[in-house]
Amino acid sequence: MAQYDSFARFYDAVNGEPEDCVSQILELIERYQPDTQSVLELGCGTGAILAGLGSSFSLTGIDLSDEMLTFARRRCPAARLIQGDITSFSLSEKFDVVVCVHDTLNHVTTFEGWTSVFANVADHLHDGGLFIFDINTLGRLRDLADMAAWVFDFDGHTLIMDVDLDSEPIATWNIRIFERQHDDSFELHHESILELGVSLDKVRDALVPYFNIVVESDTRGSLANDESARALIVAQLAKP
């Protein structure tokens, strides 16, 4: 079973609609690649981002979880959706923009896997194409591990989630959903999601052979560092 298979049918209810993220992606495309016609999303999940991007682009999504893709197919019937590994995908076309958000890259739990993602993205971009991605920083994962468990009630169900960083730089997200049944009993769904924390210096160095970094910011628009809550990076494919 792939990560998120158990969580898939609750994912959108827990996370809500990603309007801010979609708006940011569209603004970055308009600024740095205004003639974009094709977008590939790595780790497209339930298709919320692809759906938000609208009908102006040719849309393709890749995800390892078939359960997540089941929901994506409903949300984005016009998108091409592929079950696959973002570290080793090979498609017969290139794209204007590749997107990898919601800390999808952190879910690749070896840094060799990250470098494979960067190489694959470079192979699948047109000249001057954009790679837009975000990551949970090491500082963010440490902060989450120090926090009490997060409890969230939704649609009559209850989610309890905490982060364990005892095996740093691997963080384990412990997700437990108590699904209310018709008789008011609860069915427990448990999933452990792994994320890798990587220093931004290491990320920058791995991007250099392929890309020029044009944006590197935290959630407030300042320069990101390893203590930022999240780092957004926009990289443009370098000329050969």
Contact at 8 Å (CB) between 224 and 137? yes
Model-level pTM?
Answer: 0.96
> What tens digit of pLDDT does each residue of 86-110 get?
999 999 999 999 999 999 999 999 9
> What tens digit of pLDDT does each residue of 125-182 get?
999 999 999 999 999 999 999 999 999 999 999 999 999 999 999 999 999 999 999 9
Q: Which CATH class is domain 8-136+198-237?
A: alpha beta
CA separation for the pair 71, 79 (Å, rounded): 12
Give CA 93 to chain center in angstroms.
22
Domain chopping of the chain, boundaries: 8-136+198-237, 139-196
Whether domain 139-196 has CATH 2.20.25.110: the reply is yes
Contacts of residue 35, Cβ cutoff 8 Å, sequence gap at least 6:
96
Two domains, one topology: 8-136+198-237 and 139-196? no
Taking CA atoms, 50 is separated from 39, 44, 75, 130, 216, in Å, by: 9, 7, 9, 16, 23
Cα Rg, the chain, nearest whole Å: 18
- 229 pLDDT band, cuts 50/70/90, is very high
